[in-house]
Each structure stands twice: as structure tokens, then as C-alpha cells.
């Protein structure tokens, strides 16, 4: 299957700082990428849908000014958590859509905010 990478795999930061997470589709062009958040023992929660060259579409309850998404190319999308707080600590996962059907997931980024 197609490969999606995420960087970093894990990050620890102080409260109030910003963290950028990269999501790359390595062997295919992804017109659409998705950002999910998953708290312990809970299912995936879609945060936003990112289309290359346009603004991301955020799900209800997700603050667009806090979670900045940039999808500058067909192989790269970034999520920046601005002014992170301990409640933002979570597992962030991106996925890239291939051929209108299947989504391939990145390995995830575990964010811990102290």
C-alpha cells in the first residue's frame, strides 16, 4: 500500500509554545489529507480536511486559529498546534486519500504538553 509518514513521532513541549507536525505522502500524490486526534481509549476524531492549495475545512468544535493547517503541495500537509496547553496532549494522526476511496494513515505523533 501507499506510504504516509509523519514527523516527529513524539514531541514534548512547554505550555504556551507552538508545535508543528508534518504529514507526507511518500509514493503518491494526495489531493486530500485528513488530520485526526485520538485521546486514550477513544476512537479517532476528525479535526479537519485539508485540500491542496485551499483552506482546510474544520470540524465543529475545532478551533481553526489554534490548529493551523497548511497543505502547500500534493505530498505535504502540516498541522501547527499554537499556544499548546496540557489539554492538547493527544495522539495526532494524519491520513492521505488515494484514488477517492482508501485512506492511508501516518504512524501518528504523540504530543505531550507540560
Partner 1 sequence: GQNIDQPTEMTATEGAIVQINCTYQTSGFNGLFWYQQHAGEAPTFLSYNVLDGLEEKGRFSSFLSRSKGYSYLLLKELQMKDSASYLCAVMDSNYQLIWGAGTKLIIKP
Nearest distance, CB of residue 43 and partner 1, angstroms = 4
Q: Which is nearer to partner 1, 81 or 93 (CB)?
A: 93
Q: Which residues bind partner 1 (CB under 8 A)?
A: 1, 34, 42-44, 46, 49, 91, 93, 97, 100-108, 110
Helix, strand, coil percentages for the chain (3-state, nearest 5): 5, 55, 45
Max CA separation in the chain (angstroms): 40
Helix (H) or strand (E) holding 77: strand 76-81
DSSP for residue 26: S
Nearest distance, CB of residue 24 and partner 1, angstroms = 14
Nearest distance, CB of residue 107 and partner 1, angstroms = 5
Q: Which is nearer to partner 1, 2 or 13 (CB)?
A: 2
Neighbours of 58 (CB within 10 A): 18
Amino acid at each position: 500500500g501507499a506510504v504516509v509518514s509523519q514527523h516527529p513521532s513524539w514531541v514534548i513541549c512547554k505550555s504556551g509554545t507552538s508545535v508543528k507536525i508534518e504529514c507526507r505522502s511518500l509514493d503518491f500524490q494526495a489531493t486530500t489529507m485528513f488530520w485526526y486526534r485520538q485521546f486514550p481509549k477513544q476512537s479517532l476524531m476528525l479535526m479537519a480536511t485539508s485540500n491542496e492549495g485551499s483552506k482546510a475545512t474544520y470540524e465543529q468544535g475545532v478551533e481553526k486559529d489554534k490548529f493551523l493547517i497548511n497543505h502547500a503541495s500534493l505530498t505535504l500537509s502540516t498541522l501547527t498546534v499554537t499556544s499548546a496547553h496540557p489539554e492538547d496532549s493527544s495522539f495526532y494522526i494524519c491520513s492521505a486519500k488515494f484514488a477517492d476511496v482508501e485512506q492511508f494513515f501516518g504512524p501518528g505523533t504523540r504530543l505531550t504538553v507540560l
